[in-house]
Structures are given as C-alpha cells and as structure tokens.
Amino acid sequence: MKKILISLLIVTCCYYVSAQKEGDKKIIVKVADTSNFYTKVKLAIIQAGFTVRDDMNYTLLTSNVEVKKHLGYTIVKARISNDTVTIWGLYSNKNKNLYGIEIAPGTYNNILYFKNNKGHGWDILYAIATKIDAHDLNYSK
C-alpha cells in the first residue's frame, strides 16, 4: 500500500511540474525523430495558416504577419535546438484610423496561456506543437 501511495505521489508531482500554468508564453517540444526537423516544424506552422519567412535561418523560423480572429495581427516563432523546438507567438490588435481604414499595428504582446483560453492564441501554438511529432511537451514563461 505504501509503494502504491508513493508511486501515485510521484506521478502527480510529475504531472503538475509539466502542466500549463497561468502566464506561460512558450511551448517546448522534444521529439524522438529529428530527421527533416526543420521541414516538420515549417510544415506545422504552414498547416496552422501562416506563411513562414524563408530567410535561410535553420534555427529560428518566423512567420509573416497573419490576421487571426480575436487576436488581430499574429506572428509565430519557433527556435530549433538539437531535438527540441521552442514555440511562441506575438499579437497586436487591429488598429483603424478615424476613417475606418486599417493602419499598421502598434506594439506586439506575447501570446499567454490562461485558464479557459479558447481562441486567443494559445490554441494556435498548441496545435503547431502537437503536429511536430511531439515526444514530450513542456511549458515556460
């Protein structure tokens, strides 16, 4: 009985250590298979509805600005390092001038995780992370 209780405690602790917390900004994905890693990450971002800039940087992928519902102007970034990719995003509200014409966005804010965050950016980042053949998902601020 004591062994079962200890193992249950360890499993619970491991779950809460890697669980999403309020204010998390990044999803860290560890993959088992790193073959064509750059292409897998790029394809996951494209499947989420973004266009990836082709600036020949194989460690940092940056999307072009896309307009997403609820967020306005949205950018997704992914940093590749060995068998790990870190995904995060930025958004800026759509601005209009006095005549109702859309103008350039102001400052960009980080996409954050918060409870019941449905359709406000975190779901986009999570969808990209799960399409990369995720072996292990972690979250950070």
Find out if CATH 3.30.530 is the number for domain 21-140.
yes
pLDDT at residue 3 greater than cutoff 70: no
Q: What are phi and psi of 85, to 5 degrees?
A: -130, 135
Of 21, 71, 23, 76, nearest to 51 by C-alpha is: 76
pLDDT at residue 4 greater than cutoff 80: no
Q: What is the pLDDT of residues 77-113, one digit of tens each?
A: 999 998 999 999 998 887 777 888 877 777 888 888 8
Residue 48 near residue 111, CB atoms below 8 Å:
no
Compute the Cα dihedral for 65, 66, 67, 71 and give only its sign. negative
pLDDT of residue 22: 62
In this prediction the pTM is 0.75
Burial of 71 (0-12, 13-18, 19+ CB in 10 A): buried
- List the chain domain ranges: 21-140
DSSP assignment of 15-35 equals HHHHS--TT--EEEEEES--T
Q: Which helix (H) or strand (E) holds 39?
A: helix 37-47
